[in-house]
Amino acid sequence: MMNFQLTLRSMFERGEKLFPKKEIVSRTPAGLFRYTYAEYARRTRRLSSALESLGVKRGERVGTFAWNHHWHLEAYFGIPCMGAVLHTINIRLSPDHIIYIINHAEDVVLLLDEAFMPLIEKIQDQLPTVRAYVVMSDKSELPETTLSPVYSYEKLLETGDPGYVYPDDIDENDPMGMCYTSATTGNPKGVVYSHRGVFLHSMSMGMADTVGVSESDVAMPVVPMFHANAWGLPFISVWLGTKLVLPGPAPTPLTLLDLIESEKVTLAAGVPTVWLGVLKALEEGQFDVSSLRSVLCGGSAAPRGLIKTYEKKFGIPFLHAYGMTETTPLVLSSRLKSYQQDLTEEELLDIRSKQGILVPGLEMRIVGEHGDVKWDGQEMGELLLRGPWIADQYYNDSRSAEAFADGWLHTGDVAVIDEEGNVKLVDRTKDLVKSGGEWISSVDLENALMAHPAVFEASVVGIPHPKWDERPVAFVVLKDAQAAIGKQELLDFIKDHFAKWWLPDDVVFLTEIPKTSVGKFMKRTLREQYKDHFVSAV
């Protein structure tokens, strides 16, 4: 066979040639913008050509600091197809981390949303490698700014060549992109994606037994394009000519529901907190969501109750999946096997609320204290991964040695696996609650609490305890803050599902659970704020 290089150019050109009439819809500050793949492709080539005239060379990093919209999608292919590296920067990080990331990656150009100009203005003095700022905006004139040199994206594009020819000698192992994980301690860690990794990951996203993205889908990545490649949806969509709906700056549940209804979205992807918010809006209003064939949910554990309500009450199929920035990200997806269909509804839900089975193309181990764990759904171990879209190191980072020892990515996730190969994440290593020498899964307790109809969100955290080392405490946000629900009612609701010593020692009612930059529960903050909870109680 030919040693054909698996690069983004051939993915881009397929979408361009075969699906010129298909549409991309983008929510911008000015409203809904739509154009065809033909127009998308011309503008993407213009972008590459314009970046080249700004002096961007092969292998150099171009940063993006933006929401999900058509400009960002142009950058997603325009930068890697010319041989440069697309560096998506998480807009929600602290200024210190943003400075660290841009300097560590040595970005030479930064593409940013107009709304983020004030933020970047404040830190530009600390960004010595950035040679040009390009502002993505609907307006032709830029507001006054101290950014320098600064360009309007639209004006810059006019100078670019719509017939710009992409090089066909890019090596498939060359970097095409990078993204930093929002490390909970220390500086963020950079992951570099190769053309080959993204090409093969996109193929896996299209398999019927995983997410099964297809040309006939209307895909809406709610997961930000600065977070783990928006789970790869932009790449596979352009390749297949799938209609994309990009929900723009800070979309609310109502915005998302309006887009689902008006654009007939079939596949929408986001973290559980997004789907919890959308669920509340669905329960309060009238929306036609019948176009949805699947809600893809990952990033943290999808609560069983959430899956059940979407499917039973609203008829929306839910697909639970697992991945990490380090894994491009798709690793596990939760689908039933053909011979499992006649299990009871509750048994089916039990399986589907697990993170699922390994997608084709990857290899996995779950390693406990005594080596590989038994496939009994009980024995816990750390999930280890390897495969063509799994990173083999962090970018210029001494923390690589530990995380990538012996040719495997050590995920830091603790899991069990059942006899069918369904993996269930028990916790992140650092979030497991250690009580009297035994481990308690905070995720299981959270899921059980969130199944209570009055509970909006629940997070369980191990709090230092004078006698037991740590004891679980539940932090709960009610749907209706005035509801007369007390600690005992919630504990009674979950008590049959757990050993007595697993039950939280306390339930603290909050108006909001602090979240990380990508919408996950910020357990570290809760742990810190409540670290004396038991000490002061004794």
- Which spans of this chain sit near ligand ADP (rule: CB under 6 A)? 181-182, 228, 298-301, 320, 322-325, 355, 411, 413, 425, 428, 518, 520
Catalytic residue among 7, 28, 64, 181: 181
- Got the DSSP string for 389-439? TS-SS-TT-TTHHHHTGGGSEEEEEEEEE-TT--EEEEEEGGG-EEETTEE
Report the DSSP beta bridge partners of residue 382. Answer: 367, 414
Annotation says 470 is catalytic: no
Do 128 and 121 contact (CB within 8 A), yes or no?
no
Position 95, amino acid = P
Do 5 and 229 contact (CB within 8 A), yes or no?
no
Annotation says 231 is catalytic: no
**CB 118 to ligand ADP: min, Å:** 25
**CB 228 to ligand ADP: min, Å:** 5
Annotation says 313 is catalytic: no
Euclidean distance between CA atoms 200 and 232, whole angstroms: 11
Comparing CB distances to ligand ADP, the nearer of 104 and 520 is: 520
Comparing CB distances to ligand ADP, the nearer of 73 and 409 is: 409
Element (H, E) at 314: helix 314-314
Phi first, then psi: give them for residue 106, nearest 5 degrees: 55, 55
Comparing CB distances to ligand ADP, the nearer of 72 and 410 is: 410
Phi-psi region of 387 (alpha: psi -120 to 50; beta: other; left: phi over 0): left
Comparing CB distances to ligand ADP, the nearer of 120 and 391 is: 391
Euclidean distance between CA atoms 322 and 333, whole angstroms: 6
Catalytic residue among 326, 446, 457, 470: 326
Comparing CB distances to ligand ADP, the nearer of 41 and 425 is: 425
Do 225 and 72 contact (CB within 8 A), yes or no?
yes
Position 295, amino acid = V
- Both structure tokens of 273: 């907190």
* CA 426-428-431 angle, 5° bins: 100
Euclidean distance between CA atoms 51 and 57, whole angstroms: 9
- For 232, how many CA atoms within 13 A lie in the half-sphere containing its CB? 35
**CB 84 to ligand ADP: min, Å:** 23
Element (H, E) at 136: strand 132-136
Name the DSSP class of 185. S
Instruction: Specify the residue for token string 């066979």.
Output: 1
Comparing CB distances to ligand ADP, the nearer of 258 and 382 is: 382
Comparing CB distances to ligand ADP, the nearer of 324 and 362 is: 324
**CB 296 to ligand ADP: min, Å:** 10
**CB 22 to ligand ADP: min, Å:** 29
Element (H, E) at 87: strand 85-88
Comparing CB distances to ligand ADP, the nearer of 161 and 382 is: 382
Euclidean distance between CA atoms 130 and 109, whole angstroms: 5
Name the DSSP class of 521. B
- Both structure tokens of 164: 């710009």
Annotation says 185 is catalytic: no
> Given CA atoms 134, 136, 142, 147 in this order, what sign does their dihedral have?
negative
**CB 96 to ligand ADP: min, Å:** 16
**CB 306 to ligand ADP: min, Å:** 12
**CB 349 to ligand ADP: min, Å:** 15
Residues noted as catalytic: 181, 326, 434, 439
